Structure 1
Amino acid sequence: MMLISTVLKALILLQVGAIYPDFGTLLHPEVLKPLDYRELPVAAREELQAAVADIRDDEPDPLSEIHYEGLLDNNPSRMETVRHLEDMDKLALFYWHHAFFGDAHSLQKMMDFSLAWAKMFQPTGNPINENKLLPIVYAYPFVEPHMKSRQQHTMEEWLREMARAEIGNERVPLNNWETKRINLVGTIGLLLEDDKLVSWAEEKAAYYVENALFADGSSADIRQRDALSYHVSGLKPLLQFLITLEQETGRGKDFFYRETADGASVARSLDFVLPYAKGEKIYRQWENSKVRLDQERAAAGLEKYQPGVAYDPQKAYETMALASYFDDKYRMDQCGLPLCQITALLN
């Protein structure tokens, strides 16, 4: 199996300060219970443990405020934020390592990093920024049983504060921003067994499908930005929430397929992506974007934002891997990314 070797290539690169958003894509611990690490080759398990040993003594480096959304990639404040957000890569590494091996050290590191950020970071309700902190949210079911009561209180108050801030933000546009907000609030609600938060997220998700997804499979992100990348990044957090919702309540799969009166659905919007993810069609991005930031990015010479640049099919693989949790037709057999390998084991 290629899982560990693929994981290691990404993780070793973490040492040089790169950010790997793919590794931040976690699954609820309950979803991972059927996994058996003994299915992985002994040499690969040992190699993974050696790679984790390289960062075992790293300490958290939290921020009080994230400067990311709306800033160009080369903005100094954003670049500094990205450096601090390496903590989320490391937290995700400890998460997967603990999920596979159940080791106490990775568990303690998840606790240390989570508490450090909870004590420092002040939620603002910006889902683009706070979506970056999802590894803390997903780590909580692992660490909560091992925390002292005051630590549990610190974490739960911080998680609730984040959810309240997201709900209170009345300036969230009905695009990928909204699905990131839904995922944050809904997942926090499920973890804390807060039915009000879960209901809010489900209602918002239904409204999103009704008003931001269309019968032809396109989305508000496609129509506003002419970017398959944003269409895919809008579906990804929604799928994360639906997987957790299915695991906890059994309602996620029904929502995945449910169609509006006009024929829109989450599944249909994934069908829209499928030929591009398979490389059967090419999507030329940004040619008709109506968003000023996209134009500024192009003017700044950022290559991936140039009008007409082809969407990279591999960028859809993780989203399709999440979708394969509900339907095997979305599995990308050519994908060697960790999440693709993990979801294949789950089905």
Structure 2
Amino acid sequence: MPAVPAHAAMNFCAAPGLQTSERANAAPDVQALMKRVGGQLGAEPKPLPRLHTEGVLPHEGIYDESIEAEKELELMRDAALVWRATGDDRYLKLVDRFLAAWVGTYRPSFNPIDETHFDSLILAYDMTASALPVKTRNATAAFIATLGNGYVARIDSAAHPLSGTYRNNWESHRVKLVAMAAFTLDDRKLIDAAQRIFVEQIGNNIAPDGSTVDFAERDALHYVAYDLEPLVAAALAARRHNRNWLTLKAGNGASLALALNWLVPYALGQKTHEEFVHSSVPFDAQRRAAGVPGFSGPWDPKRSAPLFHLAARLSGRYTSVALLLSPAPPAWVAVCLPLAAR
């Protein structure tokens, strides 16, 4: 593989020199992240060569180990955010240690459900690349490039028109990982591919009325939110390069904004929905039978709070929805993107 430029351009989170209002806004959440990360400053990483949670129940296979390992990906993201906010090198050393261990051990499976949490690893690199030791920086950049390019190759080699898991929520998670990799590495070819597959997914997944393929297949708002959240993350990465993917329209007239608008009445409680009643996916029935929370009964709008807090960073029209669902965004979002969009 050709050498990858060893830098990142702060493509997702707010610029390192936070404005006074942003710093004041983020302060309590920085404290929360410091508390969360502080007790693990001396922790040693325990990377796995593979993660697998897709299609399996808790306690089956390596599900439990994978869930625990995913926490390390979030830990390095949170440590990077604290380092960026405080300049305390102890947090940078944690990021360096965990990045080096994970990119040296993990082998991508290109299952986007298993690997969706690698957005946290990409964010950790994005915020710290310029300060990382050269060895860690180069190895992580190469890993992210392998991940992003590998997903594009699989999408492009899939049978077209895309169908099945190449147009439902799986594809949204592929798009997120490709977009975040592309903009973090500032790889022009990968950026062009990311925008192409983003638009393709909007057209394949979202109908002109704003409903999604996942709602039709799963009869669940859980999967609408799970489908849209990665697309919002992709759009946030693109926004740092002055690209507006929120309102970017596919050939059928659909857009990410249209799908978010479709979900708003449910988030506000104006409409309700019984989850998974007519799902066409047998695994949903298995999870219902196993008592996995959220796979039966009415949808809880508060489950979409993270989605709408992220969407509020794209457009202020979603701020009131987000605040109704939760008075504050997740701590990492508050530190990464302290202010909602206008």
Ranges in structure 1 where 5+ consecutive residues have no aligned partner? 1-25
Q: Is contact 2:53–2:66 with CA below 8 Å preserved after alignment?
A: yes
Question: For residue 229 of structure 2, what is the amino acid of its counterpart?
Answer: K
Q: 1:191 aligns with which of 180, 184, 187?
A: 184
The equivalent residue for 1:274 is 264
Q: 2:198 aligns with which of 205, 230, 235?
A: 205
TM-score, normalising length: structure 1: 0.83
Instruction: Determine if the alignment matches structure 1 residue 315 to structure 2 residue 303.
Output: yes
Instruction: Determine if the alignment matches structure 1 residue 122 to structure 2 residue 112.
Output: no
The equivalent residue for 2:7 is none
Instruction: Determine if the alignment matches structure 1 residue 81 to structure 2 residue 91.
Output: no
Instruction: Give per-residue Cα distances to partners, 1:165-202, cap 9 Å, x unaligned.
Output: 32233484211111111111121111112111111111
Q: Is contact 1:35–1:346 with CA below 8 Å preserved after alignment?
A: no
CA distance in 1, matches of 2:29, 2:111: 39
Tell me how far 1:259 sits from its aligned partner: 3.3
Instruction: Determine if the alignment matches structure 1 residue 173 to structure 2 residue 166.
Output: yes
Q: Map 1:175-324 onto structure 2 (within 5 A).
A: 175-248=168-241, 250-251=242-243, 253=244, 255-306=245-296, 309-324=297-312
CA distance in 1, matches of 2:148, 2:29: 39
The equivalent residue for 2:327 is 336
Q: Is contact 1:124–1:166 with CA below 8 Å preserved after alignment?
A: no
The equivalent residue for 2:12 is 28
Instruction: Give per-residue Cα distances to partners, 1:235-286, cap 9 Å, x unaligned.
Output: 11111111111112x11x2x31133454321111001111121222222110
The equivalent residue for 2:315 is 327
Question: For residue 29 of structure 1, what is the amino acid of its counterpart?
Answer: C
Instruction: Give per-residue Cα distances to partners, 1:10-62, cap 9 Å, x unaligned.
Output: xxxxxxxxxxxxxxxx9823457545465159888667645533222222111
Instruction: Give per-residue Cα distances to partners, 1:69-114, cap 9 Å, x unaligned.
Output: 1111332420121122221232232133223323211122111111
CA distance in 2, matches of 1:68, 1:47: 28
The equivalent residue for 1:161 is 146
CA distance in 2, matches of 1:172, 1:260: 19
Q: 2:86 aligns with which of 84, 88, 101?
A: 101
CA distance 1:291–1:44, shift in 2 (3 Å)? closer
Q: Secondary structure at the match of 1:29?
A: coil
Q: Is contact 1:107–1:142 with CA below 8 Å preserved after alignment?
A: no
Q: Is contact 1:227–1:286 with CA below 8 Å preserved after alignment?
A: yes
Q: Is contact 1:35–1:345 with CA below 8 Å preserved after alignment?
A: no
CA distance 1:316–1:32, shift in 2 (3 Å)? farther
The equivalent residue for 1:19 is none
Q: Secondary structure at the match of 2:116?
A: helix
Larger mean CA deviation between 151-160 and 173-182 belongs to 151-160
Q: Is contact 1:27–1:240 with CA below 8 Å preserved after alignment?
A: no
Question: For residue 345 of structure 1, what is the amino acid of its counterpart?
Answer: L
CA distance in 2, matches of 1:286, 1:316: 16
Instruction: Give per-residue Cα distances to partners, 1:139-176, cap 9 Å, x unaligned.
Output: 11222112333322211221122123322334842111
Q: 1:39 aligns with which of 16, 24, 33?
A: 24
CA distance 1:148–1:175, shift in 2 (3 Å)? same
The equivalent residue for 1:134 is 119
Judging by fraction of residues, say which structure has more helix. Answer: 1
Larger relative contact order (CA 8 Å, sep ≥ 6) = 2
Tell me how far 1:64 sits from its aligned partner: 0.3
CA distance in 1, matches of 2:123, 2:116: 12
Q: Is contact 1:91–1:113 with CA below 8 Å preserved after alignment?
A: yes
Q: Secondary structure at the match of 1:333?
A: helix
Ranges in structure 2 where 5+ consecutive residues have no aligned partner? 1-9, 159-163
Q: 1:59 aligns with which of 28, 33, 44?
A: 44
CA distance in 2, matches of 1:300, 1:53: 36
CA distance in 2, matches of 1:66, 1:322: 26
Percent of aligned positions with the same letter in both sequences? 24
CA distance in 2, matches of 1:229, 1:45: 29
CA distance in 1, matches of 2:174, 2:273: 27
Q: Secondary structure at the match of 1:345?
A: coil
Question: For residue 192 of structure 1, what is the amino acid of its counterpart?
Answer: L
CA distance in 2, matches of 1:194, 1:43: 35
CA distance in 2, matches of 1:238, 1:96: 22
Instruction: Determine if the alignment matches structure 1 residue 345 to structure 2 residue 339.
Output: yes
CA distance in 2, matches of 1:220, 1:204: 16
